[in-house]
Structure 1
Amino acid sequence: MSLISVLSISYQAGTKRLFSDLSCHIDSGDRIGVVGHNGCGKSTLLNLLLDRHSVDDGRILRQRGLKVGVVEQFLPDEISSLSVLACVCDALPNEERATSQYVVEALLLRLGFDESLWQNTIDQLSGGQKNLILFARAIIKDPEVLLLDEPGNHMDSSAMHYLKGYLSSSDAPSFLMISHDRDLLDSVTTKTFWLRDERLYQFKLPYSEAKLALQKQDEDAQKQRIAEEREVTKLKKSAKRLAQWGKDYDNEDLARKAKTIERRAEKLEQDYTFVSAGSGLSLQVDAELLRSKQVLILENQDICNPIGDPLFHVEELVMRPGDRIALLGVNGAGKSSCIEHLMNVFRLPVGEQSCTRFNPNVRIGYFDQELEQFNQTIGIMDWCREQSQASEEDIKQTLIQWGFPYQDHNRAVNVLSGGERARLLLLTFQLDQPNVLIMDEPTNHIDLQGKEELEANLVEQSMTLLFTSHDQRFIETVATRFWWIRNGQLIETHNPEDYFASLDVMEHASSSKLEKHNEPLNVEKPALSDDEMLLERILELESLLEEDKQRKAKFQKPKLQQQWQQELDELNHRLDS
């Protein structure tokens, strides 16, 4: 029997869309864990279920007369001076308090509060005990369904034992629980709701098993999507070539066939398998737009290396709120020197800034590619205290959420891996909420999945960002503007392909110098019986050439490229003859 039904809801918080066409049910007997990265909308979903917010679209239906118990994250101030016994009794209707005190006492004993604690005030309790009191206030009302927001926060092993014991008991009500505690979720839940990508992934499994199922689902979707994209690319190339043949040879059959193939490619594109952007890094940075139209101005500025030699000149460039600027240039051109110059100017008082000027409201989050901030022997927690203005509790919780367990908080930062250091630095951005990011090679120490997740976060949250990277895909995905250090000048280019082409030329020239001999060609020509087989071989050779040339020079195969190109030239000649 369905207690609460969520039907195709959509909801947007400010400028951020959290849910789109989301549906789920809480049925009698359900024990549901809700998981997802920070900012995905878990607490918002809870508030929607409680009718504290209104959905933008869709409906939420509750069984008539349904009794709902709520366990909040934080203790209300007004009950902090009450005794333990009075605090739980206070949750009952006035007329039931006197007659139900024995029920409250039995519940307190069940949750680990013996009689010696009943008259202690709430503010004398530990954080974990306070959370158990919030839990007791919710279940004393005998609800039919419980909605819990991080009930295990601050709990020691003893408090967690009592929480697990109650939630796993046969008389516990149906519940939906938000938690970042894997052990709690695995111990008491039988279903998992995974919030991601503005949608809900549902599994009739506890958290750890659901995680494996989601990974498998993602892998299958990725494989399917790759196959679909390859098929679409192949069809589009075939259609384009057939259309050109139809035009060149005035052949209506070829032209019609090209149109048919185009329509098939369009239909496949519309039905692409959805692939998640992922959410591992969970970078949630304040993307507020500054009131000013300008974040940064570079005007008649010379940028020099550390010993004072000029590297390049900037005539005039302006960075605006919402810009994601890629700083392009070959190694040694001065990208890192430019970023170092910007950070030095930013540290100056506004009145002392001249040719380079920052908006006074700018708060910068700086990612140093050398990660020099970690060249010290202090522990992770102490390092975060130095780097962030956040509270002690916020730092602890965020460290745990970002994969730094409590027992590692005293681990020295100078022994962390590059990936751990990068993650820790990104974590401080979430804590301090800068409104401008300056990032020098942020993807150097991040694995492939983490890189894709960082891309998604930077793009989806409309960051204001200036960054350098050697990763072409990262640049093309993230950047909206491109500043190029070229021939002693920092200029804006609207076509980054010119920059990437210049790199290809340099890499090709470098690899050519290493080629001393050309092996004789021994290419077996495919049997070409008709136009379609000819087209297929041409497309295959073009694809081989394109894929190999996109690799770094040291991984390319120049000899094979030469063979493929010679065969391609021959086939094109046969096509034209």
Structure 2
Amino acid sequence: MTTLLNVLNVSFARGSNPLFENISFSLNSTDRIGLVGHNGSGKSSLLSLITGDSEPDEGEIRMPRGQRIALVEQFVPAELTQLTLINAVLAALPEEQRTDCRYQADELLEQLGFSTSHSALPLHSLSGGQQNLALLARAILLQPELLLMDEPGNHMDVIALEYLQKYLLSNHSQPFLMISHDRELLNNCCNRTLFLRDHRVYNFDLPFDRAAQALAEHDVKAASARQAEEKEIKRLQASAKRLAVWGRTYDNEDLARKAKSMQKRVDRLKQEQTTVSRGSGLDLQLQTETLRTRSLVTIEKLQIVTLDGEHKLLDIDFQYIRPGDRIALLGRNGAGKSTTINRLVDAIGAGDERVRYNPNVIPGYYDQELDQFQCDRGRMDWLSDRSDAPDQRIKQVLLQNGVPYPDFDRPVDKLSGGECARLMFMLFQLNKPNFLILDEPTNHIDIAGRERLELQLIDSDATLLITSHDRRFIERVANRWWWIHNEQLQELNDLEEFYSVIKQEANPENEQISSTGPIQPATANAAMNEDEALARIEVLETLLKNDKARKARFQKPAKQQEWQRELAELWKELE
């Protein structure tokens, strides 16, 4: 086992803001590491230090001399956007190697789901997910000994994600360090997890779900230890103070000396106190109203077309949305999900007979492009422009969601995607909509934020129409599924129907691509099988819980029995 990377006592700050302090970890040739942290914790900055694009303030980063490293960037470099797909991929190589490597590049693109016709298309004309796959192809073509990936699954539809996962799973010998907020991708493809938090790094030789559980257990123990330490410090401080008073009162040097010694012990204990996580300092809250009516929206004989009106995307013969429905709109990139969302939003208050809204509907719309933030208004003013809430209430909501007073006036066009997303949910908190239309709300939110959003959406009894590429988010939140397929909007009885078709499209040769178990080193086959079983158990228990949470007439007893039988078999195998 070869050591490919050593991060030794590294500290780094952005301006006056420290991102991490005195962190250390190593990466070996069998490691496939997921790097996890909240927005702004310094994950991309750490990759920049490893590639040498930035220098640490303290500490050092060591790698074998001449080692090949490749980075899959988070965003497409501007100089590549006008190139064709094949030329953008080949541009990663020195010019003299490009002709000889053309066949290899074509073969690689085919593995990642591209057809021959894609090769001549400009990179900017491809979907965001396809562009990210092209960036992955550029990195792989360099045959790196260490692969770095900065959110490679961003903007990928389920097909593109399947190809990404398929590649990572089929290339077991490729060590990597991957930043991702996609919990399924992290679970399926990583055997180690690093959490960047509290300016420190927490290392677990486990895939994400089990690592997150281990971190939570660590936090509980740390909080308990900190409580005991503070109790001991208070006891010693009281004793030191009492001895000091007695020493002065009775002019007793021995008591005074003991008091000083005890105070030194207190000072040492304070310096060595167990660290307890402060969290991200950010919160995400949601408040909605429930509308008591039989129907919120009725859709009938509606055709969805492209923005220029030239091409039909799909037909909707008849659909309805009732209070409490949490509908996931599914489909490939380009199928018309966002266009359908926009068409339904445009129909609000328009008197359109094809899209009829209950007159008491109060909508809340989350635009995946975050176009509403293209202005220089401060947070406070931006919310005030869009809400009738008094200023005091707006200030209260900002503070509740972790925004300090000095940042109230920060222009919204200077905010990160994650900060914009949180501000949008603050607006919902103020306006209390009874129908939320959320187009890719998870795109810019870290894992902790996604988990918080899931709980908020489920607990709020909100009526939802959502699109998301985050499979776990859809599994946990949705109770109905609309699928855009063959230019029709179909209702599915089960989310697994959709994913089974997607897997077949990505694996036409019926290759067995693991969708549940994390990758482990090749020497640990027994452990890998157990991990796969545990991950499948979690999926099945979630499906059961979500189905049983529905009203009785919407439950699927046959599916519940099937899931329960599979659970019993899995637990029996693990005994």
- TM range, normalised to the smaller chain? 0.5 to 0.7
Structure having the higher Rg: 1
Pairs within 5 Å for 1:179-328: 179-249=180-250, 254-279=255-280, 281=282
Which residue is 2:17 aligned to? 16
| Structure 1 letter corresponding to 2:116 | E
Q: Any residues of structure 2 matched to 1:96-135 within 5 Å, and which?
A: 96-135=97-136
- 1:146 Cα deviation (Å)? 0.6
Is the 2:20–2:199 contact (alpha carbons within 8 Å) kept by the matching residues of 1? Answer: yes
DSSP 3-state at the match of 1:12: strand
CA 1:100–1:369 in 2, change beyond 3 Å: closer, same or farther?
Answer: closer
Residue of structure 1 in register with 2:87 after alignment = 86
Residue 268 (structure 1) shift: 2.1
**Whole-angstrom CA distance in 2 between matches of 1:73 and 1:372:** 31
| Structure 1 pair 95–135 and aligned structure 2 pair: CA distance change class (3 A) | same
Q: Quick one: distance in 1 between partners of 2:410 and 2:105?
A: 53
CA 1:13/1:175 → structure 2, altered by over 3 Å: closer, same or farther? same
Question: Are 1:163 and 2:157 counterparts?
Answer: no
- State how far apart, in whole Å, the 1-side matches of 2:191 and 2:395 are: 52
8 Å CA contact retained: 1:69, 1:138: yes
Q: Please state how far the C-alpha of 1:367 moved relative to its aligned partner.
A: 12
- 2:443 is aligned, of 394, 397, 401, to 397
Match of 1:388 in 2: none
- 5+ residue gaps, structure 2, are 285-388, 397-405, 413-421, 464-575
Shift of 1:410: 13
Does structure 2 retain, via aligned residues, the 8 Å contact 1:37–1:282? no
Q: C-alpha distance in 1, partners of 2:277/2:157? A: 35
What corresponds to 1:492 in structure 2? none
For 2:142 and 2:155, how far apart are their aligned partners in 1? 24
TM-score, structure 2 as length reference: 0.53
Amino acid of the structure 1 residue aligned with 2:434: T
The answer to whether the Cα contact below 8 Å between 1:35 and 1:180 also exists between their aligned partners in 2 is yes
CA contact (8 A) 2:84 2:122 kept: yes
Whole-angstrom distance in 1 between the partners of 2:17 and 2:183: 28
- The aligned residue for residue 527 of structure 2 is none
Give the 3-state SS of the residue equivalent to 2:11 in structure 1. Answer: strand
Q: Provide Cα deviations, 1:527-553, integer angstroms capped at 9, x if missing partner.
A: xxxxxxxxxxxxxxxxxxxxxxxxxxx
Mapped to 2, the partners of 1:410 and 1:72 lie a distance apart of 32
Amino acid at match of 1:397: N
Say whether 1:375 aligns with 2:432. Answer: yes
CA shift, 1:172, in A, is 4.6
C-alpha distance in structure 1 between counterparts of 2:131 and 2:70, whole Å: 17
| Structure 2 CA distance for partners of 1:369 and 1:161, relative to 1, 3 Å | closer
Q: CA deviation at 1:242?
A: 3.2
Moved more, 173-182 or 163-172: 163-172
CA distance in 2 between partners of 1:121 and 1:209 (Å): 42
Deviation of 1:71 after TM superposition, in Å, equals: 0.4
- Aligned residue identity for 2:197: R
Percent of pairs with identical residues: 42
The one-letter code sitting in structure 2 at the alignment partner of 1:9 is: V
CA distance 1:408–1:32, shift in 2 (3 Å): closer
- Alignment match, 1:33: 34
Structure 1 pair 14–252 and aligned structure 2 pair: CA distance change class (3 A): closer
Q: Residues 226, 68 of structure 1: CA spacing in aligned structure 2 closer, same or farther, 3 A cutoff?
A: same
In 2, Cα distance between equivalents of 1:366 and 1:171: 41
Deviations 1:490-535 (A, max 9, x none): xxxxxxxxxxxxxxxxxxxxxxxxxxxxxxxxxxxxxxxxxxxxxx
Q: CA deviation at 1:407?
A: 11
Aligned partner of residue 120 in structure 2, secondary structure: coil
User: What letter matches 1:374 in structure 2?
Assistant: N
Is the Cα–Cα contact under 8 Å of residues 128 and 159 in structure 1 kept in the other structure? yes
Work out whether 1:153 is the aligned partner of 2:199. Answer: no
Q: Could you tell me which amino acid in structure 2 is paired with residue 111 of structure 1?
A: L
Q: Partner of 1:138 in structure 2?
A: 139
In the alignment, structure 1 segments of 5+ residues that lack a partner are 284-335, 344-357, 382-391, 418-577
Q: Which position in structure 2 is the counterpart of 1:297?
A: none
Preserved contact between residue 196 and residue 202 of structure 2 (Cα < 8 Å): yes
Q: d(CA) in 2 for partners of 1:273 and 1:138?
A: 41
Question: 1:56-89: per-residue Cα shift (whole Å, max 9, x none)?
Answer: 1111222111111110011123322333223222
Instruction: Give the aligned residue type for 1:42.
Output: K
CA distance in 2, matches of 1:35, 1:161: 21
The count of aligned residue pairs is: 340
CA–CA separation in structure 1 for the residues paired with 2:249 and 2:104: 90
Instruction: Indicate the SS of the match to 1:379.
Output: strand
1:43 aligns with 44
- CA shift, 1:250, in A, is 5.0
Alpha-carbon distance change, 123 to 144 in structure 1, aligned in 2, over 3 angstroms: same
What is aligned with 2:419? Answer: none
Paired with 2:425 and 2:95, the residues of 1 have a C-alpha distance of: 60
- In 1: Cα distance, 2:250 partner to 2:423 partner: 59
Secondary structure of the residue aligned to 2:444 is helix
Q: How does 1:459-538 map to 2 (within 5 A)?
A: none
Q: Distance in 2 between matches of 1:341 and 1:94?
A: 57
Could you tell me the TM-score, scaled by structure 1's length? 0.52
